[in-house]
A and B are shown apart, each in its own frame.
Chain A
């Protein structure tokens, strides 16, 4: 029972003391409200975003301060200070909300900008990629064209080689050439020379012209002109005759445009007969000039020592 009576008594004496002392009256709540007010006053967001709420809070604090200055009851001062404190907090919250809303608006703007930037970058990338693809396509086309050209050239060359080979074949057949391990051999028989002379008959010249054509078309081939006779007469005469006839053939080929360095010459006299020298027709076979046409890019091997 006693404390219940005691409390109002203590309170009453406190009010009396507060109301009549000369020291400034304050309460913890008022102190807190004043500190909060200073913080809010220092917050630039509060002045820009919540001026109305701040004014209300300021007025509320003024009322609490006035009550304190008039040394009103601690209870009244506290009550007014509490309201001021809540209003200051409200101003802070309103400012915070408005700042956040401003940030939301700014974020929206930034988002639009960023999206635009992303789209621009995307478009530029697409353009670049398209240009690269186009360049790659052009390069591929160029490559294909080059390959086609090369294939055509190879085909042309193959055809040319084939044509040349066919032509050579045909000419050699016409010249009654025989194939040996030393190369193709064209024999200029006795009938193509004037009797006992080295001069070629018109038929002989015509045969050589065909051979000169072959030589012109096959620049990598060389010829060896070999002269032979039958066994009639002295061997020195025969050697000389075979030499003269071989020389006549070589000179004729040279005059038909075959370079001299591609023409070799050798006289054998009555050596290497192709038939026995026992009758006139056989002897005629032995009187001859053989023209060995080298294989492509191959030297003409020498004749075996005897036959």
Chain B
């Protein structure tokens, strides 16, 4: 049983490797890299460089490697890196957005607290 299973596993693995090596994957890899580039640009526009430096740096590094892989025609690696870069970029963008919203919310809460204090003081006069 064990032998059969491992044989099946190996066969599947071989098939996957064969498929990934196929040159017909060039188009989707290029598309993925383009989508990721877009995601990084969006994150930067959202202020990720300041608000999520770690994530945006990781995304950029992976983008660069994805481009290199694309140039080296390693489309499988290019797709993998592009997907990861996209996940990093999306996290960077959402982190930047939540940092901004949280800061604005905190500032408003503080304003409210001060205003409430003023109103209470005025009312107690």
Contact = CB atoms under 8 A, between A and B. Distances in A.
B83 interface: yes
Contact of A90 (B90, B109, B115, B116): B90
A94 to B, nearest CB: 5
Nearest to A122: B122
Given A82-B87, A86-B88, A94-B98, A114 B115 contact: yes
Interface residues of A, number: 32
Interface stretch (B27-35, B64-72, B100-108): B100-108
Contact of A20 (B2, B95, B105): B2
Counting chain B CB atoms within 10 Å of each CB, which of A93, A103, A104, A111 scores highest?
Answer: A93
Interface string A114-156: 1101100110010000000000000000000000000000000
Interface string B103-125: 01100110110011011001101
A228 B9 CA distance: 167
Contacts of A114: 112, 115-116, 119
Contacts of B24: none
B49 interface: no
B101 A100 contact: yes
B41 interface: no
Interface of A: 19-20, 53, 71, 73, 79, 82-83, 86-87, 89-90, 93-94, 96-98, 100-101, 103-104, 107-108, 110-111, 114-115, 117-118, 121-122, 125
A93 B9 contact: no
Contact of A100 (B80, B87, B104): B104
B27 to A, nearest CB: 21
A21 to B, nearest CB: 10
Nearest to A83: B87
Contacts of A19: 6, 9, 13
Contacts, number: 90
Interface residues of B, number: 32
B105 A103 contact: yes
A39 B25 CA distance: 37
B105 A104 contact: yes
A150 to B, nearest CB: 38
30 contacts: A20-B2, A79-B80, A83-B87, A86-B84, A86-B88, A87-B91, A90-B87, A90-B90, A90-B94, A96-B102, A97-B94, A97-B97, A97-B100, A97-B101, A100-B102, A100-B104, A100-B105, A103-B105, A103-B108, A104-B105, A107-B109, A107-B111, A110-B112, A111-B108, A111-B111, A114-B112, A115-B115, A118-B115, A118-B122, A121-B123
Contact of A104 (B13, B97, B104): B104
A119 B41 CA distance: 47
A94 B101 CA distance: 10
B3 to A, nearest CB: 10
A90 B91 CA distance: 5
B87 A107 contact: no
